[in-house]
Amino acid sequence: EDQVTQSPEALRLQEGESSSLNCSYTVSGLRGLFWYRQDPGKGPEFLFTLYSAGEEKEKERLKATLTKKESFLHITAPKPEDSATYLCAVLPFSSGSARQLTFGSGTQLTVLP
């Protein structure tokens, strides 16, 4: 069974204090790993897709990396507007019709001014 575990559950940072969020996963074969941002009362907003170990992607203050067992979302010099819940999800290879994402429970990030 596919599993995704995110840590920490919650993280409080001071503005400018860089840190990383972790996503550990277990899948039979990884088609893709996705990072989403979710603000309260809104749907998840797509950030990145990573397909193979060693791949990295960046967007503003965020950088996502991928290994064979986990992914990290690095946040450099965060600002209060980066406060949100960050969700990690995996899409496994499947011989059937399955195309659904399996999500972790998320990391709730709070950046204090």
Positions touching other proteins (CB under 8 A) are 4, 31-32, 34, 36, 41-46, 49, 87, 89, 91, 96-106
**Longest CA pairwise span in the chain (Å):** 48
CB 66 within 8 A of CB 24: no
Minimum CB distance to other proteins, residue 27 (Å): 14
Minimum CB distance to other proteins, residue 3 (Å): 12
Residue among 14 and 95 whose Cβ is closer to other proteins = 95
Residue among 13 and 48 whose Cβ is closer to other proteins = 48
Residue among 28 and 97 whose Cβ is closer to other proteins = 97
**Sheet holding 62-66: strands in order across?**
3-7, 19-26, 70-75, 62-66, 56-59
Instruction: Point out which residues pair with 55 in neighbouring strands.
Output: none
Minimum CB distance to other proteins, residue 86 (Å): 11
Residue among 22 and 76 whose Cβ is closer to other proteins = 22
Count CB atoms within 10 A of the CB of residue 84.
Answer: 20
**Which residue do the tokens 């980066």 mark?**
82
Minimum CB distance to other proteins, residue 91 (Å): 5
Nearest to residue 52, comparing CAs of 26, 34, 72, 32? Answer: 32
